[in-house]
Chain A
């Protein structure tokens, strides 16, 4: 009974030790997985939107369906989301982890210096050097929408998003 209790008490400690070890290895080796690890991110609230800028150094693995791939080098990814979702991260700086909302971003801007391997359906390939990509709009086929997006990568606080389903906008 005494041994069982000791093991039960040790489990959370083991788990946190394992988590700490994995995080420490990721940070020391300079790698991140889905914006967890060697990553610094800034969340900025803006008009009708919020912007997540994630900066990663080393190797980055992305498993999201809308942006799968691997980057080695310096990688910046900026996501513009409409409104204030319930799962939106808090505005400010985030270190070592920034969770992305489940919904797809309105804008995805990425810059990579180094090597990048991408696995999107409409954009699969490899880049060695510098590559910047901005998906300014991504609308499902046939959807009725009306939107204004204003975005400057170096001034996320000036981002502006206005959207409605049909004309005239109310």
Chain B
């Protein structure tokens, strides 16, 4: 009889351990031998040699919002809006810039981004502006590359 409650407690603890209670954004570089276990996700890995990874772990079940009585209206994955800019030199991480909005702040900022581009107040979240600029620069570069590439073809046909 005493085994059942113990089993239930263990099962509850195991299930609780499956969901992260924190948001993580992390980088990991290994050169050599690395054995790793993530008990929060019940996973592990063994690496011999070189390995680098960037990852984000987002809690899958948090309160969406609360009513006037403080009761939760529901649960869903944590709201996150992030921009990461990472610099590396060989195997070494040289810098990173992290813009991060989570929870209600992320929802409010997403509403702000839905406005007309001229009306958006980015504040210190300038990476969205830089991202848009970079995208337009890339499209310009691609356009010029296309033009350059088409030039020899044209001359060739002549």
- Check A128–B36 contact: CB distance below 8 A: no
- A102 lies within 8 A of chain B by Cβ: no
- Check B29–A132 contact: CB distance below 8 A: yes
The contact sample of 30 A-B pairs, CB cut-off 8 A, is A121-B39, A122-B39, A122-B41, A125-B44, A127-B30, A127-B34, A127-B35, A128-B32, A128-B33, A128-B34, A130-B29, A131-B31, A132-B27, A134-B96, A135-B25, A137-B23, A139-B100, A139-B102, A140-B21, A140-B22, A142-B63, A144-B106, A145-B101, A145-B102, A145-B105, A146-B102, A148-B98, A149-B100, A154-B94, A155-B95
Given A136-B26, A139-B102, A153-B93, 12 new contacts (CB under 8 A): A121-B39, A126-B33, A129-B32, A132-B91, A132-B93, A133-B26, A135-B26, A145-B100, A146-B101, A147-B100, A153-B94, A154-B94
| Interface size of A in residues (CB-CB distance below 8 Å) | 43
The 7 closest A-B pairs by CB, nearest first: A129-B32, A144-B103, A142-B62, A125-B36, A141-B59, A152-B95, A144-B104
Tell me how far the C-beta of B82 lies from the nearest C-beta in chain A, rounded to whole angstroms: 8
Range, interface on chain B: 35 or more
- A123 lies within 8 A of chain B by Cβ: yes
A93 to B25, CA, bound (A): 29
A128 to B36, CA, bound (A): 12
A interface residues (Cβ-Cβ under 8 A, vs B) = 109, 121-155, 162, 164-169
Q: Which of A134, A138, A167 has the most CB of B within 10 A?
A: A167
Proximity bits, B102-119, A CB within 8 Å = 1, else 0: 111110110010000000
**A interface SS class:** strand
- Check B103–A123 contact: CB distance below 8 A: no
- Give the contact stretch, choosing among B3-11, B121-129, B131-139, B145-153: B121-129
- B84 lies within 8 A of chain A by Cβ: yes
- Check A121–B40 contact: CB distance below 8 A: yes
